Structure 1
Amino acid sequence: MKKLSVLFCFLFVGITQQTYGQLSTPAPSPYSTVSQVVGLTEVEIAYSRPAMKGRDIYGELVPFGSLWRTGANAATKISFPEPLSIEGKELAAGEYSIFTIPGKGEWTLILNKDAKVSVANYDQSKDAVRFTVKPQKTKMDFESFTIMFSDIKDNSAKINIIWENTLVPISITDPDVDQKVMAQIEEQIPTAGNNDNVYFAAASYYFENNKDLEQAVEWVDKAVEINDEKYWVMHLQAKIHAKLNNKEKAIEAAEKSKALADKAGNPDYVKLNNQLIATLK
């Protein structure tokens, strides 16, 4: 019985230690990832998010003029599978660590080729780029350190580093978007056959980027010829004809698009077509 009691105690202690070893508690600086397609390239940023917790941040917790890992725990990382331009600096595809040197009126932003480096073993010779940006004051305090994307356009966006009452904007661009899209159009249009989606996408790109509208209208007319039940395609057809000053064709396409949208229960496209028709009469 004594041996059994000892064995039971041993097992109990072992179970207790194992359970304790698996205990999960909230992280002081939770890990986070944020991603955004910029142009045709997905950009991902992985970082940890410390909180203010009543502390003064810049100039105190994060000293001015000192190298900072730009977050907590491991250095913040950014990765992208295609070459991009950051603040006008061209960067090869890959993964980089992000370091900053905060200042009162200017920040230095650093992308280092060693994605696993820390402040302790940071090697400046491995910097891919360095540049300076002007910080901005926010109207409210941000309790948690935040990195977010904004100002999303066809080939560009901004990365915003935000904490306390400071925002640091960084411009990022996919410089080869037009070249990539045009290459796809040249490759896919000749073999598109009855794929109305290809003709629609090509016509839409030409319309939105002020390219050859005569070619765009040929493609969108082809898309409608293949499938005349898509009100969004007909709306594009109406807009291209309108821009070419073909008012009668534009109104005709807009009326058809409006009727299809109404039948499909899409009031947004009904409104868009009404607005377009109003400008043409």
Structure 2
Amino acid sequence: MTATITPATTRAIFAIGDERSAKHVVDLLTESFFEGQAAIAAFERPDGRWDISVHFAEPPDQDAIRDLVQLAAGDAVVESIVFDTVEAKDWVKASLEGLVPVRAGRFIVHGAHDRASVPPNKLGIEIEAALAFGTGHHGTTRGCLLLLDHVLKSKAPARMLDLGSGTGVLAIAAAKATQRRVLASDIDPMATRVARENARLNGVGNLVESICATGFSAPQFAARAPFDLVLANILANPLRQMATPLEAHLAPNAMVILSGLLLPHTTGVIAAYRARGLVLLRHLRVEGWSSLLMQRAG
């Protein structure tokens, strides 16, 4: 994949003592940034400690980052944080090292280095790391793919939307599985370009229309609605705020897959969509994150 990305990025690196603490820090940092603002990774070292790296699309407020880490991990970890600047090509390559294919139902998300290992009875989705959110290795992405696989076992949606598409992994999965068109939108122009390139890489460039849009303001939403299936892997606050306009773009009995939710925030999102006439069908918990399958009442 050839992507237009920022030539250099600011990085914060630090180590933490155990897996539980590492996950807590990663969850807090992930919830604190919008899609495309930061790429966060945690890897276990041979000595049992965890290395955490955060790559920022724009130079961050370093004091604010330290405050977040202090809240989650204490003073000792904060004192170990190092900020530096690295070339994007260096960290993209490094972020792929050690990433294994992610299996979710019929889907396998993988990098180019694992292309040959996808079984013939699975749908491979090739995604390379970039500054756009979503290599497929996050619990929210896997939860969405599992719910998408579940939906497609009984339905073949004709009109589909991937809202907050990031690298386009969910739109590509839906297009590959159904061979039908998918509208993919993101507020980040870079993510839009990456999603478009990934769709071409995966042979569905003719099926995935990737647009840069805020909310539902772009004319493509009205032109393609009403949607039979919406996938929205974003964050809790934006999901609550867009409950009303999202519902207005749904067909009767439409399915909606929502994710990007830490467990404590799930109840509020469910309530917001129930108030718009959607019912909860399934709730998956993957790596401390919630993914919801809801349906609009017919």
TM-score range, shorter chain: under 0.3
> Between Structure 1 and Structure 2, whose CA radius of gyration is higher?
1
Larger RCO, structures 1/2 (Cα 8 Å, 6+ apart):
2
TM-score norm. by structure 1 comes to 0.25
TM-score norm. by structure 2 comes to 0.24
